[in-house]
Structure 1
């Protein structure tokens, strides 16, 4: 089961905007890039946080391994979604060493990266 449709970052222009204007935090296995969307009309309705995952063939030549890593990262975000405030665009870039990671590593690292980027509060 993937992320809800409203929480998916799908378009190339969104990825490019996050890469060009967003903040960057990194850990051993992951790079987090995030951009806070600015509301034009300052309404109380905010967009939901949207998440994209970027993983290259440098991580593994096998699509099975790359897809397993993406599934694990999506599962971590499904768990963290209630804690994420609205209005963020987040791109996770997977480093080549991540093929040896387990779910718990991704959970710990993503929590730490989100706290460092001040997207969620440390608790």
Structure 2
């Protein structure tokens, strides 16, 4: 099961809005940009540039990021763009997933552990 279409950022103007007005967090594998919205759901976009490698590598990284986001419980009302850095091409799923989770936690997109358990 993939990431539903309604929670994907797809249009250039949506990406541009996040890049222009959003806040940025980063670690050694990823850059996260978020923009608060008034929607009742989150939308996620993924950027994998040619610096990452060939199409096979870029698609693999995108699939791993989509799966990580799909299974996470998130707070609603954010447009998020995850951009992969060059090191992400060599990272395994667990490391990439952990990096994405830590950025989403720092950005406030993931609920606090106390909120998630109640």
Instruction: Please say whether Structure 1 and Structure 2 have the same fold, judged by a TM-score greater than 0.5.
Output: yes
Q: What RMSD in Å do the two structures reach over aligned CA positions?
A: 1.2
Corresponding residue for residue 68 of structure 1: 60
Give the match's secondary structure for 2:40: coil
2:89 corresponds to:
99
Q: How many residues align?
A: 113
How far 1:64 moved relative to its partner?
0.7
Q: Provide structure 2 residue ranges, at least 5 long, that are not aligned to the other structure.
A: 114-118
CA distance, structure 1, for counterparts of residue 97 and residue 85 of structure 2: 15
Distance 1:74 1:10 in 2: 13
The structure with more radius of gyration: 1
1:76-95 matches, cutoff 5 A: 76-80=68-72, 83-95=73-85
Residue of structure 1 in register with 2:116 after alignment: none
Deviation at 1:47, TM superposition (A): 3.0
Runs of 4+ off more than 4 Å? none
| Structure with the larger RCO, 1 or 2 (CA within 8 Å, 6+ apart) | 1
Aligned residue runs from structure 1 range 14-29, under 5 A = 14-29=14-29
Aligned to 1:56: 49
TM-score (norm 2): 0.90
Q: TM-score, normalised by structure 1?
A: 0.86
